[in-house]
Each structure stands twice: as C-alpha cells, then as structure tokens.
Amino acid sequence: MDETLAKWLYLFNRGDDNQSFRRFGAHRVGPGRWQFLVWAPNAKAVAIVGEFSDWQPTALKPVGETGCWLGEHAGDVGQLYKVQVTTRTGEIVEKIDPFAFAFEKKPGTAAKLTDLPQHAWQDTAWLTQRKDHLSYDRPLNIYELHLGSFKRHEDGSYITYREAINEVLPYVKKLGYTHLELMPLMEHLLDASWGYQLMGYFAPTSRFGPPEDFLAFIDAAHQLGLGVIMDWVPGHFIRNTDTLAQFDGTPTFEYADPHRADNVRWGTWNFDLGKAQVQSFLLSSAMFWLDWCHLDGLRVDAVSNMLYMDYDAGKEHDRNRFGGRENLEGTAFLKRLNTQVFAAHPDVLMIAEESSDYPKVSAPIDTGGLGFNYKWNMGWMNDTLKYFSTDPYARQAHIDQLTFSWVYMQNEQFILPFSHDEVVHGKKSLMHKMPGDRYNQFANLRTMAVWHMTFPGKKLLFMGSEWGQFLEWRDWSQLEWVDLNDPLNEKMQTFTTVLNHLYQATPALWQEDFQAHGINITIGDRSDVIAYERRGRADKDRLIVVLNLLPEQRDQFIVPVPHAGLYEIGLNTESARFGGTWTHLQRRLRTRGKPERGQPDSVAVVLPAMGALLIKPLTEKTQGAGSMEVKRDD
C-alpha cells in the first residue's frame, strides 16, 4: 500500500481525518483517468458502474484491512456513476458516492465525475476583516433564506445560483442585514424536507446549478459585504436505500442498534456519532464547506437530538451507561467538531439550534461547554410569539412571558431567531399571528420587531417577515412579492430597513450583548410598559428603549434616563412613514431635572399607542442641530 494512502486511511479510521473529501470519492489522477476510493468495511465486493463503462461494473480492490476499496477507470467530466456493493449475503445494490461533489438532478441519485469545485476567489478583503473583527462585539443580523422559494421564474422553475447573485444579494444588503443564512443547500431529494434530509454532504444541490456557481454566489456575497451561513445537518440522514442507509449491507453510517438508528421524529436514520469513520466523514463535511467553499459559519441543526438519548419519540426512557439521559457520543462529537473548526477558523460562526436547557452550549470546552459560539434562544422566541399573538388586554396578566427572559438572557451567547419553523405548518406568518385588525397587526409587528432588535443577543429573521407577508411560508412557490403593492406592506419593509440600519449604526445594541453592563432595566414592574437602557462600551453609547404594549396613547409619560441633558427620539414605530398615524414626530427632549426609578434624571414623552420609542442622548456635536417637532397630528 502506498505510504501516503496508508497514513490517510489510518487517520480516517481513527476519526482524525477532517479532509477526507480530498481522498475519498472520485478524483482525477491523469488525463481522462479517475481514482475511486470507497469505505465499505463489511462488503463482499465493491465496484463502480457508470456511463463511462456502459453501466458495467469495474471492480475495486480492498486496501488491506482498512475497510476501504480502491480502483481506477477512464471517464469524462460530467459522466454519471454509482457505487455497486455486493453484501455479505450476496445481494448486489447500487449506492451513491458519499463523497461526491455533484449529483444528477432529482429524482436521480447518480454522482457526476467532477473535480473539487474551483473558483478564482476575490474575497480576500472580506476574510481579512472577518479575522480582524470577531462577531461577539459586532452587529450580527441574519436574514434566513430558502433559495428554492425566495423567487422563481414565471414558469415556476428555480432561479439559479448565478441569478441569485443579482436577485438575492443586493436585496438583503439594502435591507441592512449583515449575514445571509441559507437553509441546507447540500444535495437532497425531497423538496418538502427543505434540505434537512440529506444525501450529499459534499455537494451543493444541483437544483440551482453546478458547484462552481455556488462558490461564485458566496464570493459575490463577500464582495458585497455579506457573510454567508448555511444550515448543516450532522445528526441524521435520508432513509432512501440507495443513499447512505445500510451502505455496505450492514449499518455503516447509522447506529447498529435499530432503536438508536431510527429517527422517528423526522423519518430519517441517526448517524452513529461514536463511530470513528463517521466522525471523519462529518468533520470533513464541515471543513469542506468552511475551507473550500469559504462559508462564514454553520448553523448546526437539531443539536438536542444529538445531546439526549431520550429526545425522540418512543425513547423516553433511554439511558446511557451511567444512567443519564445524555448521548455521550453526541456530546463528544460536538466538542470535537467545534475544537477542530475553531482550530482552523477561529473567526467563523458555529451556531447551535438547540431547544433544551442543556448548560454551556456556547461556553468554551475547557470550561465544560460544548464549544459553540452561539445558541438559538428558543425560549425567548416561543415566549415572545406567545405574548404578542395574544389580545393586548388579555396579555396584561402574562407580561412575564417577556420579562422572564431577563433572568437567563446572558446564560449563553444567544441568537434571537424568528425562523422558518415559526411561519409554517399552521403556525401562521408573523403578521398573521398578531391580534386585531390589519392596522393593529402591523402596529404589534413593529413593536415586536423593536423588542427583537433591542433585546441582548444577535438577530435572525426569516424571509418575507420583513414586510409582514400574510400567508404562511410555502416551500413550493416564491414569496408573495405582490404584497409590496399594498402600502402597509411596503411601509413595513421600509420600517425593517430603517431598524436594521439603526441597529448596525448603534454600538449600544451589539457591543455588550453578553455582558451584564449591556442592559439596564428601568421599567420592568408594569404590565403595560417596559423600558430599558442598552449600553455600549463608551459612556456616550447608550440607547433607551420604551415599549407601550397597549393600544392606548400615554401623554407626558415619564421615562428614566442616565444623565441630564438633551435627548432625541431616534425612532417612533407609529410614524406615518412606517404605516402608523404620526405625521409630526416628537424628537428633541430636555430632561426634567427629576430622578426617576433610581435613575439620575428623566424625560417626558408622548408614548404612542401599541408602539415603541428609541431614545438616545445627544452629544455636544449634535445638540446644536435644527429644531424637531414635538406634537402629534391625529
């Protein structure tokens, strides 16, 4: 055996190879010649069948006792092929190449002969600033997008990666987002799975074009100043028998125990995260997307499913060898994943979609954590949506649904997600969740958006929510862009854009997200009004947030402020520009010289009905600015 190959396979079988995509699968070894390397440890025989051989098998040879099979064949780029496995029982089955970089279009599952996708990258400036400016004390505002349903052609066909460069990226940038989060774009068969039931862990889906065009899309985003995150699914995979399931005739990628392998919740198979070769496979997948494709991070899907043995249906009493609920292999794998990713890329985002109260998900591993740098705050999201979807007068008794999150808001480094999961399957769109008539629905939605944007933590919003789409998200058709012909939807989109840009320009809203200093709650004991101060590092970087949670205007409402002087209302959700009724805005405020609620001073404001104000202190440079209106036109 070649000494270099022997080293590679040794590392792969130890679980220490995070670059296995460079050796496994099909790789060109000369003009018109390809080498195939397949892991099938319990197969009786392995062969390659493809267009280049009229689908007749070309046998691979076992590589010692490594469980791998190696061989060569002539072929042309783009030709289709599969792996033919003869099981120990003599059954002959055709399987995908797990390491393929490209597949034929659905419903086929044949891989394509192709080199590692190439691209002449022009994102050096982006990668340099990413390395120099880590995300913790920077604005992070994510637009979550399902590429297959963002926009479509008139005939219902998908836009391509190349078309998305012009259709998606300028739009997201103009709205004021810092990052784009793509729902899984790895190869998958079922559209209705949204990409979460995968088969191609190294292949951008062929739905939207070749892999090289996917790389061009990422590069274009970076050149425009947008980061790109993609959802990644290391916990489970598609059941189809011609993919990874029972790959060599025995449980290969999945657990040998059928009970543990069966993922009832999603109708998939669970990866055996304790198996060394599966770890090499998944670690290599993560590094492929981060290294080769220049992604800025991975949102790791269904982390709870990897943390708990009893997470899934029918497994309520499953226990590990110590009698606990924790999936020991799963937690060990996640720690290993984050260790290797951050060793190579300390500046990327590793985000856990984790729905339990598992401790220290976003804490460093050497302190007992899992090593992610962010965790989705599902509790905050669920409580917020429950509160704002209730009639304003009925929800007064449930103000704790908002204020309880203050208790744990800095237990983790949180992202606050209003994701696709909250606007589908009968849950209604964000706008449709809001109570009252259409006007009041938008008023509630704007107020909730301020709560979202000013609460400690980074942000995520699913596409279409920025203008208050009424219909639930549908993966089979494009967003309801026609909504923007309605003035209320168009003004909601304007509001989101203004709020996003204000967020980016205001260090108080992101610089100290995960420090106690970053927020000071000044009114938290009422059932109708909440007020708090967000703080940056510099004393001048402060923003006062006031939320009126009832549809009743409050004149001469007293707001505590941190010092005497002049203040300015930077945003009023009830401005007519945003769909409200205020045509003249109260802007310039002078302190009353009276302490309030333990704060040194206070200002009197007109608090809009079902609305929010953002109030900022004026510096010496801005105090001489022109006068501002102080009354409201009905």
Measured distance CA(243)–CA(255) in Å, rounded: 16
Look at residue 632 in the predicted model and tell me its pLDDT. 38
Among candidate residues 181, 219, 353, 466, the one labeled active-site is 353
Measured distance CA(274)–CA(254) in Å, rounded: 10
Inform me whether the pLDDT recorded for 630 exceeds 80.
Answer: no
pLDDT interval class at 634 (50, 70, 90): very low
pLDDT interval class at 1 (50, 70, 90): low
* 219 is an active site residue: no
Look at residue 585 in the predicted model and tell me its pLDDT. 85
DSSP string, 62-90: E-TTSSEEEEEEE--TT-EEEEEEE-TTS
Identify the residue whose tokens are 């026609």: 482
Look at residue 620 in the predicted model and tell me its pLDDT. 54
Whole-angstrom CA distances from 222 to 139, 287, 440 are: 16, 19, 38
Q: What is the mean pLDDT of the chain?
A: 95
Let me know: does 77 contact 113? Beta carbons within 8 Å.
yes
Look at residue 613 in the predicted model and tell me its pLDDT. 98
pLDDT digits over 298-321, tens only?
999 999 999 999 999 999 999 999
* 181 is an active site residue: no
Burial class (CB in 10 A: 0-12, 13-18, 19+), 127: middle
Measured distance CA(28)–CA(399) in Å, rounded: 63
Q: 6: closest CA among 26, 291, 202, 14?
A: 14
Let me know: does 546 contact 534? Beta carbons within 8 Å.
no
pLDDT digits over 470-512, tens only?
999 999 999 999 999 999 999 999 999 999 999 999 999 999 9
Domain covering 3-112 assigned CATH 2.60.40.10 in the classification: yes
Average pLDDT over residues 226-254: 97
Strand ordering across the sheet containing 25-30: 25-30, 33-39, 68-74, 61-62
pLDDT digits over 598-613, tens only?
999 999 999 999 999 9
Look at residue 3 in the predicted model and tell me its pLDDT. 82
Domain ranges within the chain, ordered by starting residue: 3-112, 516-617
Look at residue 61 in the predicted model and tell me its pLDDT. 97
Fold held by 516-617: Immunoglobulin-like (2.60.40)
pLDDT digits over 393-433, tens only?
999 999 999 999 999 999 999 999 999 999 999 999 999 99
Look at residue 624 in the predicted model and tell me its pLDDT. 45
Residues whose CB is less than 8 angstroms from the CB of residue 191 and which lie 6 or more positions away in sequence, other chains included: 148, 475, 476
* Residue 555 three-state SS: strand
Let me know: does 435 contact 441? Beta carbons within 8 Å.
yes
pLDDT digits over 326-377, tens only?
999 999 999 999 999 999 999 999 999 999 999 999 999 999 999 999 999 9
Helices (H) and strands (E) in the chain, counts: 16, 30
Look at residue 626 in the predicted model and tell me its pLDDT. 38
Instruction: Give me the residues paired with residue 49 across strands.
Output: 82
Let me know: does 306 contact 233? Beta carbons within 8 Å.
no
Inform me whether the pLDDT recorded for 622 exceeds 90.
Answer: no
pLDDT digits over 505-563, tens only?
999 999 999 999 999 999 999 999 999 999 999 999 999 999 999 999 999 999 999 99
Query: pTM for the whole thing?
Result: 0.96
Q: pLDDT above 90 covers what percent of the chain?
A: 95
Look at residue 441 in the predicted model and tell me its pLDDT. 98
Inform me whether the pLDDT recorded for 617 exceeds 80.
Answer: yes
Among candidate residues 213, 219, 231, 301, the one labeled active-site is 301
Average pLDDT over residues 27-50: 97
Inform me whether the pLDDT recorded for 57 exceeds 60.
Answer: yes
pLDDT digits over 121-167, tens only?
999 999 999 999 989 999 999 999 999 999 999 999 999 999 999 99
Average pLDDT over residues 13-37: 97
Q: pLDDT above 70 covers what percent of the chain?
A: 97
Q: 462: closest CA among 451, 447, 475, 443?
A: 475
Whether 3-112 and 516-617 share one fold: the answer is: yes
Look at residue 386 in the predicted model and tell me its pLDDT. 98
Whole-angstrom CA distances from 249 to 188, 246, 274, 499 are: 22, 5, 19, 55
